[in-house]
Structure 1
Amino acid sequence: MKQIITIALFLVATIATAQDQYTTGMQKAFQFWGEGKTTEASNLFERISTAEKDNWLPAYYGAQVNTVASFGEKDKEKLVKQLEKAQEFVDIAKAISPNNPEILVQQAMIHTAYVAFDGATYGMTLSGEVVTLYQKALAISPNNPRVVFSKAEWDMGSAKYFGQDTTPYCKEIERSIELFTNFKPESEFHPNWGKDRAEATAKNCGK
């Protein structure tokens, strides 16, 4: 009995240590990201992802770090390198958690970054995929605030591009804000971003 208790305590201690390392690593990666150290954040998320083989979150954030850094990037070589790295991360996350609406949104964001960089080159091939990804994510999780907002934001961008009225999408932006207000992430590291962007978008919606 004593041996069983000792083994049990050892296992609990081992799990607690692993969790502490995971928490510390994730917090450090987010700190790097907040300081604008994209490469350091990406590399740390990658190391955590390698260690956490059943956890999609480190790979998800590795993808997000590289994708966000690509918006506004003028150097095509750097942009493609970042987005290819983001795609590698997304592929890892998808393998761990298939049909995950958060990951579907992240995949759509990668495509959007390409389209934003060069609509003439990438718009024809990727726009349809973005629409499909958002439709799939919405079907899986119709009340996920990031899904609702990101889809509405994409639809608004498309409407602007074709000179159409963007007002019809304002209601969805407002709905996403309500969803953000009531949304509770599963853990401190689960996706919880988007409300600030939604509120900023709502202020200028339809103008």
Structure 2
Amino acid sequence: MKQIIYLTLVLICGSLQAQSNYEKGMQTAFQLWQDNPIEASNLFERIAQAEPDNWLPSYYAAQINIIKSFNLKDVEKLTAQLNKAQGLIDKAATLSEDNPELMVLQALLHTAWLAFDGATYGRTLSPKIREIYMKAEQIAPENPRVKYCKAEWDMRSAQYFGQDTSPYCKDLEKALELFANFKPETPFHPNWGEERTASLFESCSQ
């Protein structure tokens, strides 16, 4: 009986240690992000390898690569980064199906291609982005990132075609309400977008 109790304690302690290492690793990666996003992405990938059942590290590694891609002019570098991000999203999606956070990330990846060359990718990717946001909104209508990102996409599309963007201001206002009441599942779950939403909504009144 004592041996069983001892083995149980060993397993529990090992689990707690692993959890502690995960938390420390994630905190370090977030701290690195601002000053060294490449190293942060690499660390998120290493955490993903150590946490094969957790979609979050792959999510953040993909997000960093997508964000960095919006400023790239070199097609080879852009392709390498977005292909890497796509692989990370695909990996995360196998761990968490129909995840609205991953859907938003996928839509942003497609948007990065559009930002690089709208003439080439607009016809094929624009409908995909619209479908992704519609599906994500059906799954998670109370998710503030889904509401805000879809609203921004709709606004940019309206601007491109010379249409009125004001109808989407109410969606941004709703997103702000959702952000005010949103509580991430854990400290490491996605919780970004509120400042950007507020900035876009402020432009509605100008």
TM-score by length of 2: 0.97
Q: Is residue 43 of structure 1 aligned with residue 35 of structure 2? A: no
Distance 1:107 1:25 in 2: 25
| The 10-residue stretch of structure 1 (165-174 or 42-51) with the greater mean CA deviation from structure 2 | 42-51
Once the two structures are superposed, what CA deviation does each residue of 1:39-67 show, in whole Å capped at 9, x if it has no partner? Answer: 21111111111111111000110110100
Q: Secondary structure at the match of 1:204?
A: helix
Q: Give the root-mean-square deviation of aligned CA atoms.
A: 1.0
| The 10-residue stretch of structure 1 (21-30 or 171-180) with the greater mean CA deviation from structure 2 | 21-30
Given residue 117 of structure 2, which amino acid in structure 1 is its aligned partner?
D
Q: Which residue of 1 aligns with 2:19?
A: 19
Task: Give the gaps of 5 or more residues in structure 2.
Answer: none
Given residue 31 of structure 1, which amino acid in structure 2 is its aligned partner?
Q
CA positional deviation for 1:72: 2.2
Task: Give the gaps of 5 or more residues in structure 1.
Answer: none
Contact map agreement 1:170 1:206 (CA 8 A) in 2: no
Distance 2:187 2:22 in 1: 12
Given residue 89 of structure 1, which amino acid in structure 2 is its aligned partner?
L
Distance 2:197 2:63 in 1: 18
Given residue 7 of structure 1, which amino acid in structure 2 is its aligned partner?
L
TM-score by length of 1: 0.97
Shift in alpha-carbon separation, 1:50–1:5, aligned structure 2, 3 A: same
Distance 2:125 2:205 in 1: 26
Q: Which residue of 1 aligns with 2:86?
A: 87
Given residue 70 of structure 1, which amino acid in structure 2 is its aligned partner?
S
CA positional deviation for 1:206: 6.2
Q: Secondary structure at the match of 2:183?
A: coil
Q: Which residue of 1 aligns with 2:196?
A: 197
Q: Which residue of 2 aligns with 1:54?
A: 53
Q: State the number of aligned residues.
A: 206
Q: Which residue of 1 aligns with 2:71?
A: 72
Shift in alpha-carbon separation, 1:206–1:168, aligned structure 2, 3 A: farther
CA positional deviation for 1:204: 0.5
